[in-house]
């Protein structure tokens, strides 16, 4: 089964670190990167430039909170509100240390909330654990029509 990781990240440095870490732990899954919340919604709901996307839903979405155009919290809210996507695993991967963001993320139905560590080694370790858990350990819900 081809499992895609969708990364929603507007910071090129964080994107590079995530990609480097996934490569380091030998994740061979397809990785799609979008850089704002509007593009994330187009990808998930197969609209706009992704209208012809034939691939399955992502195995996991790594979603930043502070994004251009549409916030990560709004993306999460819209994903959870739609019956087709409400069970997609969404991990908030953010530098926000605001408790309000964490509470709101869980209230909206995120599966996990992970703060991006500032130090490279800790960031790499956090992304490694995320990748291994969501791709190898987690049992996804069965697909529904």
Q: Which CATH number do you get for residue 63?
A: 3.40.50.2300
- Cα–Cα distance, 103 to 47 (Å, whole number): 30
In a domain, 83, yes or no: yes
Question: Is 16 a domain residue?
Answer: no
Is residue 118 within 8 Å of 100, Cβ to Cβ? no
Does residue 142 lie in a domain region?
Answer: no
Residue 16 burial by CB count (10 A; 0-12/13-18/19+): exposed, middle or buried? exposed
What is the band of 1 on the pLDDT scale with cuts at 50, 70, 90? very low
Residue 94: predicted pLDDT: 85
Proportion of the chain above pLDDT 70, given as a percent: 85
| C-beta neighbour count of 73 within 10 angstroms | 21
Mean pLDDT of 76-82: 97
Write out the residue range of the structural domain in which residue 120 sits.
22-126
**Per-residue pLDDT at 145:** 44
pLDDT tens digits, one per residue of 9-41? 999 988 988 888 888 877 777 889 999 999 999
14 in any annotated domain: no
**What pTM value is reported for the model?**
0.84
Please state the domain count of the chain. Answer: 1
What's the pLDDT at 59?
Answer: 86
Q: How far apart are CA 64 and CA 50, in angstroms?
A: 20
Average per-residue pLDDT for the chain:
86
Residue 36 lies in a domain: yes
Q: Flag whether 8 is in a domain.
A: no
Given this model, what pLDDT does residue 74 score?
98
Distances (CA, A) of 38 to 98, 111, 126: 23, 21, 26
């Amino acid at each position: 089964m081809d499992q895609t990781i969708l990364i929603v990240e507007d910071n090129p440095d964080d994107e590079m670190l995530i990609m480097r870490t996934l490569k380091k732990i030998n994740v061979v899954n397809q990785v799609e990167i979008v850089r704002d919340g509007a593009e994330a919604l187009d990808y998930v709901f197969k609209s706009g430039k992704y209208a012809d996307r034939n691939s399955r839903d992502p195995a996991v979405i790594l979603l930043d909170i502070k994004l251009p155009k549409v916030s990560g919290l709004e993306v999460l809210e819209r994903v959870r509100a739609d019956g087709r996507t409400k069970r997609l695993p969404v991990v908030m991967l953010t530098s926000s240390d605001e408790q309000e963001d964490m509470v709101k993320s869980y209230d909206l139905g995120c599966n996990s909330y992970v703060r991006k560590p500032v130090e490279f080694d800790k960031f790499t370790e956090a992304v490694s654990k995320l990748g291994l858990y969501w791709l190898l350990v987690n049992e996804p819900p069965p697909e529904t029509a």
